[in-house]
Amino acid sequence: MTILERFEQDLAVLETDDGRKTLPRTQLPADAEVGDVLVLTAEGYTVDKTAAQKRRKKLSERFRRLIRR
């Protein structure tokens, strides 16, 4: 799984199964946001909005459980 971790000026920092990867921001879709799940296709990276939404929901639920403790 590849997650868009952050932007640093003109670079995008991705968290992949193999570690961090940095690439030019222009190689990502214009609508890519921090936390999005990215899929590499023959045409380049695309955003998997469904997977990103599930991931955000899961993280939000974990955070709520931590706060309740």
Quick one: pLDDT band at residue 68, thresholds 50, 70, 90? confident
Quick one: pLDDT band at residue 56, thresholds 50, 70, 90? confident
Q: Is the pTM of this model over 0.75?
A: yes
Decide: residue 57, CB within 10 A, 0-12 exposed, 13-18 middle, 19+ buried: exposed
Mapped onto helix, strand or coil, the DSSP state of residue 22 is: strand
Q: What is the pLDDT of residues 11-47, one digit of tens each?
A: 999 999 999 999 999 999 999 999 999 999 999 999 9
Quick one: pLDDT band at residue 52, thresholds 50, 70, 90? confident
Strand partners, 11: 8, 24
User: Which tokens belong to 48?
Assistant: 């998997």
pLDDT at residue 6, as a whole number = 97
Q: How many CA atoms within 13 Å lie on the side-chain side of 50?
A: 0
